[in-house]
Structure 1
Amino acid sequence: MAVTLLAAWFTGSTQARRRIIGFWCFILSNALWVIWGWHDHAWALIILEAALALMNLRGFRKNLGMRRAQRGNTERQ
């Protein structure tokens, strides 16, 4: 739960770099929740976390692209 809260803190940032860190934290938290769900046979939790992990990977890719675009704009100036 603490990793999930940390991830939410970072993804709320206006800086793409911090949001990327947040998405890495979210992916880590997804893995931790899956481990816990596996241990407790909470199959719905595992399915939910797998779906959330896919959305977090999408957010990670989008923010990575934004970060590259920001770097390109600052290098041109």
Structure 2
Amino acid sequence: MDYLDLLQWPVMIVTVAAAWLIGAQSARRRMVGFWVFILSNVLWVIWGLHSHAYALILLQFCLCAMNCRGLKKNADTVSDK
């Protein structure tokens, strides 16, 4: 059995959890959500390399850049309080 094939299912759950956290009203929870999203980006790249899903890998780099932007903007909100 190829365990890297199974990685997509827990990574999907991590991604959904990140989206849930991003929708929180608490700036700290949103901050955690962005970090969880970045973790999911890394995990999707690992799975994408294994599966030769190069469009998915490129998408994850683009999404990671947006998550880093959101992380920075949210950090400014957290530090204002």
TM-score, scaled to structure 1 = 0.89
**Percentage of identical aligned residues:** 56
* Gap runs ≥5 in structure 1: 71-77
Query: 1:55 Cα shift?
Result: 0.1
2:32 is aligned, of 21, 33, 43, to: 21
User: Residue 40 of structure 2: SS of its match in structure 1?
Assistant: helix
Q: Which residue in 2 is equivalent to 1:59? A: 70
Query: 1:28 Cα shift?
Result: 0.3
Aligned residues: 70
TM-score, scaled to structure 2 = 0.85
Matched, 1:69 2:45: no
Moved over 2 A (4+): none
Computing the radius of gyration from Cα coordinates, the structure with the larger value is 1
Residues 44-72 of structure 1, C-alpha deviations (whole Å, 9 max, x = no match):
000000000000000000000000011xx
